[in-house]
Structure 1
């Protein structure tokens, strides 16, 4: 009999029978949309927010017309407006509602659009003033009699890259325009959903414009509950050759601790690999422990957490990394120790050090437990940081290095 592996996916977003639907999150989302709110998904990395957004966009009711797109490649203000204009037309072009079809035909004539394709719009004449025409288009959406929802993934990455590449004023202009669109009563039947692997709140704070997003309704998207994790493991292993007892499922959850779908799937793939090599379908707790160590040896699984932080927080990375190295080697870091590091002449961040702690907790690096004591939320990330920085010199006691033996 052929060996059947678990139905996991750790690269692209999960869809179809690989998707684990988060009913509570979906329910909250549609409730807030009905209220007229614009949504910001607040989630740590690898929590599965892209899968959630794609599921919401693909399974909306007939009163909505939805489209999802990752816009990380957008590099300029005009390109952003062009992309958003195009997405609205593409979104409406998919609708089967007669009122929308009539509206789309009007748009084709008005903007001299020759063809709507998956890659964009083909114009008969020269292209448009996208910023102005975007406003005009959104103002006219009421005629469609449906609610148009655009899911913009990696929006925060776009704003961050623009602000770091000499386009800060253009990034701020985009935020102003979007705030205007959200605040005017004339802009009806239209919502934008924002998300990104970089925390939008922190990106906006870096350019000193927090008021430009304080009207967004945040939806927290965290790790799976214990019950959800159990259901997810069962879903992934249903029909697979490997067999995990209830005791082993619980041990797997205990080993992972922070039950992100990504971590669960990494572990199941490694467990399956170990079991297949030994031709041993029945999984033991030892197999799970060995899989944990094997996953850690593959740095590519966690390098992105380090590189993303270093990339979009290049100016402050030394300070942030000092906190993380301390938390890894000392098992925790207190708020007093964080403050002491912040006051050091190397960093001088005593006025805003808590902003960085908020970022590290929101982005899924640290957790406050108990009060005023911070630890790595995931044993995977803690062990990764220990492996990357095996020798740690405390800033205030340089004569005594802390060398942790990684077991």
Structure 2
């Protein structure tokens, strides 16, 4: 297993958590579509890529992954979903089922231009020819006619909340609300939901986005599955695997010191960052990896972490407007000075900026995005000592 810090961990670099995958499939088998809910960098995207790349974990699903981050209207969204389902890259997955399905949905496919059925279905969507096509209706028509031999399509939609935001920004709130209703209508249709299930994930919180539209009723049928951090046992296993790749040994008690005293929030991203600094320091000073060595590596992480952590700062300007951004920076600055802060103290800052009505939603976004956590009722702190110390250095 190699370090995988700046990209999605896949293949041998993915730390498999069998219990998480089993729980996701259990929720799907119970008839749910799922929202993978977790702060950023916890591993949502890696999990769904693992499911996509390992359909043998269950024979019941035809797994399709699609990233809709660049989509800004509902018609394009449903066109992208159809294209992903018929993508030739999926040829090796469930080919037998799709060959059977091809005969049964040939009539559907004939309504779309540039169809090639040669042992496998592929679709080339011609933009000019298809200007008049209603892709939402086409998507429903497909689900009406397709027969996948008792299997289901598992459609994993990454960046779904961002798509909603784009539609709202470019076409208005009502268009975004209509989009949510279209998606709910598909999930709630008894014929369709026997053939398709959804897993949604994204780099911003779906609930926060939908709350701003006053449209939470349109997602209350989705089961929110909270992706938890690693257990101590899992975190030690991951750290040992990474260290062994670079022929570095560390006693269990030293790893526990790293994980419990330095990292605290046991997510793969922060463990990988720490192991990288241990590796780099070990190459300079090949000596025993003890607590003093860990302390020095952690200092180096804070000093050298800009390239890996600066996205936390840049991310804020994409999520908040100028006035909200000023408040957020004040909240984070205040939390660098103490172990935690009462919510009432932070609310006073919101009052100063005339953002009382937005305050709770701002906290929710900061929580979902991996900045802050409510450790007790109405008491907040940084999720991670790594982010807190790095933020303090850059204030």
Same fold (TM over 0.5): yes
* Distance in structure 1 (CA, Å) of the matches to 2:213 and 2:264: 35
What is the CA distance between 1:47 and its match in structure 2? 0.5
Give the 5 Å matches for 1:299-338.
299-314=306-321, 316-338=324-346
Residue number in structure 2 paired with 1:397: none
Helix, strand or coil at the partner of 1:191: strand
The whole-number CA distance in structure 1 between the counterparts of 2:247 and 2:45 is 29
RMSD: 2.3
Aligned to 1:27: 22
User: What whole-Å deviation, never above 9, does each CA across 1:274-293 have from its counterpart, x for those lacking one?
Assistant: 11123x16423222222222
CA drift of 1:388 comes to: 2.5
Q: What are the within-5 Å matches in structure 2 for residues 64-75 of structure 1?
A: 64-75=61-72
Q: Does 1:235 align with 2:241?
A: yes
Matched, 1:16 2:43: no
Counterpart contact for 1:93–1:101, Cα < 8 Å: no
Structure 1 stretches lacking a partner, 5+ long? 1-5, 390-407
Structure 1 residues 338 and 102: alpha-carbon distance in aligned structure 2, compared to 1, 3 A threshold: same
1:294 is matched with 300
**Which residue in 1 is equivalent to 2:101?**
103
1:258 to 252, 262, 265: 265
Pick from 150, 155, 158 the counterpart of residue 150 of structure 1.
155
Shift of 1:9: 0.6
Report the equivalent of 2:350. Answer: 342
Superposition map of 1:274-289 within 5 A: 274-278=281-285, 280=286, 282-289=288-295
Structure 2 counterpart of 1:55: 50
Q: What's the secondary structure of 2:124's corresponding residue?
A: strand
Structure 1 residues 388, 100: CA separation in 2 closer, same or farther (over 3 Å shift)? Answer: same
How many angstroms does 1:170 deviate by?
2.9
Please tell me whether the aligned partners of residues 44 and 222 of structure 1 are also in contact (alpha carbons under 8 angstroms).
no
**Kindly tell me: are residues 386 and 372 of structure 1, through their superposed partners in 2, closer, same or farther at Cα, counting changes over 3 Å?**
same
The alpha-carbon deviation at position 178 of structure 1 amounts to 0.3
Contact 1:328 1:382 in 2 (8 A): yes
Structure 1 residues 241 and 95: alpha-carbon distance in aligned structure 2, compared to 1, 3 A threshold: closer
Equivalenced residues, count? 378
Q: Does 1:267 align with 2:274?
A: yes
C-alpha spacing 1:206/1:14, structure 2 compared with 1 (3 Å): same
Match of 2:136 among 105, 128, 131: 131
1:388 aligns with 2:377: no
Residues 2 and 242 of structure 2 are in contact (CA less than 8 Å); yes or no, is this contact kept in structure 1? yes
Deviations 1:65-104 (A, max 9, x none): 0012322122333221210111122387544353421323
Q: Is the 8 A contact 2:155 2:197 kept in 1?
A: yes
SS of 1:238's equivalent?
helix
TM superposition shift of 1:144: 4.0
Q: Tell me, yes or no, if the aligned pair for 1:7 and 1:18 is still in contact at 8 Å.
A: yes
Q: 1:100 to 1:274 in 2, by over 3 A?
A: same
TM-score, length of structure 1 as denominator length: 0.86
The 2-side partners of 1:224 and 1:92 are apart by: 31
CA distance in 2, matches of 1:230, 1:13: 21
Pairing partner for 1:88 from 85, 89, 95:
85
Secondary structure, counterpart of 1:251 in structure 2:
helix
Residue 123 of structure 2: aligned partner: 121
CA distance in 2, matches of 1:138, 1:213: 20
Q: How big is the shift at 1:385?
A: 2.1
